[in-house]
């Protein structure tokens, strides 16, 4: 058994757990979500009922689930990791099959009030299962090639399924998320260098596959990459979104145009303004100050997670915390890069801000795990 079991008497129990919840994190998550409510109100032209209110309800539900998950001991969640992973994988296969039967690509399962995207679930369960794997694996074996293969498979199987949907954004997040957990677990630097080299090779392969029978990604994905590389080639077509998004962002200036005064978003020049491009509206209406403030909030969340992970002697807990923090980071980093024209448009929402049910619930549930690890860590008295 692990160190944790030996030290179990130092873990808070009963109602005392509530005191040990990372309340700073709760506050930061609420702050970020509030920015979301504000922006959803703005893009709806001041109508809170359209997007902001449903989002608030989900946030409340998500917060309650987070705290409930936090109260459950972390070792229970560790023991659930494998089942959760397999469950998410099963759902991923299920939507794939449903997609085959139904019309076109389907990414979600309808659960009445909620549309669950198995790929969202997979991002978290992958982190869980890898954290559990490295918790189980003796330290000496971590960098052994044989023991690197299982986590690779655990990552690549769902990635392949997601890529087939096709959802390039989530696929990238899964690979990055898995890689980050492996990195934190102490897998040798050489593997990462090799993977990056392989990644470059894959990109090369993708580009050479263009126009051939074995084309690896869809035409629209190619076009997105093209327009990312040079948006001006197609200013009214696919490059339109990037161009308009950059105009909105840049025209916001230092302090922005003011709440609900963003011409770009109000006059529909922005695409997907309540989902993937919501950051643009924020940057347009609240300027550099607003954009950097949100970035700082995210940064503080990451910071508190890293601190929590560093203080945690439990390998599963700390790896899980770092992995989930990294997932959050990947979300907003990719999203912001996308709207600023630093990355192609891949369809990744801004975490806790973009309108969307399952993403927010899954993310808050994941932070429930982070809280659980935080609450149930061994403390030196």
Partner 1 sequence: MRRSPKETEVAAGLVTRRGVVLGGIQLGFMGVLGLRMRQMQVTEADSYRLLAEENRINVRLIPPSRGIIYDRHGIAIAENAQNYRVVIVREDVEDVDEAIAKVRRLVNIDDRELERALREMSRRSPFVPITLADQLAWEDVAELAINAPALPGITPDVGLSRIYPLGPDFAHIVGYVGPVSERDLAQLQNPDPLLQIPEFQIGKIGVETKLEDQLRGKAGTKRIEVNAGGRVMRELSRDEFTAGQDLQLTIDHGLQNYAQVRLANESAGAVVIDIESGDLLAMASAPSFDPNLFVRGISTKDYNALRDHEYRPLFNKAVQGLYPPGSTFKMMTGLAALRAGVIGPRETVYCPGFMSFGGRRFHCWKRGGHGHMDFNNALMQSCDVYFYEAANRVGVDRLADLCHEFGLGERHDLPLSAIQEGIVPSTKWKAQVRGERWNPGETLNTAIGQGDVLASPLQLAVMTARIASGRAVVPRLIKSIDGVDTPVAEAPPLAVDPGILAMAQKGMWNVSNGSRGTARRSRIVADGIEMAGKTGTSQVRNITAAERARGVTRNDQLPWNRRDHGLFVAFAPFDKPKYAIATIVEHGGGGSSAAAPPARDILLYALYGDIPPLEAYPSEQRERIKAMHEEMALRPRLKPEAKPSRA
Binding residues (CB under 8 A) for partner 1: these are: 1-3, 6, 136-139, 180, 183-186, 244, 246-254, 263-264, 267-269, 283, 287-288, 291-292, 295, 298-299, 302-303, 306, 309-310, 312-313, 315, 318-319, 322, 326, 329, 333, 336-337, 340, 342
User: What is the torsional sign of CA 239, 241, 247, 250?
Assistant: negative
Q: Which C-beta is closer to partner 1: that of 116 or that of 322?
A: 322
Contacts of 165 (CB under 8 A, 6+ apart): 95, 96, 99, 105, 107, 119
- Cβ 69 to partner 1 shortest distance, Å: 22
CA separation, residue 196 to residues 8, 50, 185, 217, 351 (Å): 40, 43, 18, 19, 26
- Check: CB of residue 43 under 8 Å from CB of residue 269: no
Tokens of 1: 């058994």
Contacts of 53 (CB under 8 A, 6+ apart): none
Q: Which C-beta is closer to partner 1: that of 1 or that of 101?
A: 1
Contacts of 355 (CB under 8 A, 6+ apart): 36, 40, 51, 54, 55, 274, 275, 278
- Cβ 340 to partner 1 shortest distance, Å: 5
- Cβ 234 to partner 1 shortest distance, Å: 16
Q: Which C-beta is closer to partner 1: that of 291 or that of 344?
A: 291
- Check: CB of residue 16 under 8 Å from CB of residue 328: no
- Cβ 312 to partner 1 shortest distance, Å: 8
- Cβ 332 to partner 1 shortest distance, Å: 9
Q: Which C-beta is closer to partner 1: that of 20 or that of 303?
A: 303
Q: Which C-beta is closer to partner 1: that of 72 or that of 137?
A: 137
């Amino acid at each position: 058994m692990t160190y944790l079991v030996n030290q179990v008497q130092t873990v808070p129990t009963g109602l005392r757990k509530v005191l040990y919840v990372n309340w700073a994190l709760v506050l930061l998550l609420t702050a970020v979500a509030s920015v979301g409510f504000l922006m959803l109100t703005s893009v709806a032209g001041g109508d809170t009922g359209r997007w902001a209110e449903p989002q608030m309800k989900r946030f409340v539900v998500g917060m309650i689930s987070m705290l409930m998950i936090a109260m459950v001991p972390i070792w229970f969640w560790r023991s659930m990791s494998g089942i959760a992973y397999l469950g998410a994988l099963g759902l991923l296969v299920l939507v794939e099959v449903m997609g085959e039967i139904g019309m076109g690509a389907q990414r979600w399962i309808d659960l009445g009030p909620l549309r669950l995207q198995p790929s969202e679930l997979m991002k978290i369960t992958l982190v869980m299962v890898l954290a559990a794997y490295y918790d189980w694996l003796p330290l000496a074996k971590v960098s052994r090639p044989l023991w690197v293969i299982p986590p690779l498979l655990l990552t690549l199987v769902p990635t392949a399924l997601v890529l087939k949907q096709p959802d390039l954004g989530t696929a990238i997040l899964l690979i990055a998320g898995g890689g980050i957990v492996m990195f934190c677990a102490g897998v040798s630097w050489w593997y990462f260098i090799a993977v990056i080299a392989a990644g470059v090779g894959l990109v090369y392969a993708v580009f050479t596959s263009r126009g051939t029978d074995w084309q690896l990604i869809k035409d629209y994905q190619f076009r997105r990459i093209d327009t990312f590389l040079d948006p001006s080639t197609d200013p009214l077509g696919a490059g339109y979104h990037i161009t308009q998004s950059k105009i909105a962002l840049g025209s916001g200036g230092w302090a922005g145009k003011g709440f609900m005064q963003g011409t770009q978003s109000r006059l529909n020049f922005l695409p997907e303004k309540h989902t993937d491009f919501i950051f643009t509206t924020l940057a347009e209406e609240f300027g550099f100050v607003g954009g950097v403030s949100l970035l700082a909030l995210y940064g503080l969340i990451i910071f508190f997670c890293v601190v929590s992970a560093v203080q945690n002697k439990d390998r599963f807990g700390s790896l899980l915390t770092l992995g989930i923090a990294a997932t959050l980071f990947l979300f907003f980093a990719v999203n912001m890069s996308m709207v600023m024209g630093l990355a192609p448009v891949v369809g990744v929402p801004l975490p806790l801000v973009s309108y969307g049910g399952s993403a927010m619930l899954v993310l808050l549930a994941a932070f429930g795990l982070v809280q659980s690890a935080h609450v149930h860590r061994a403390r030196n008295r």
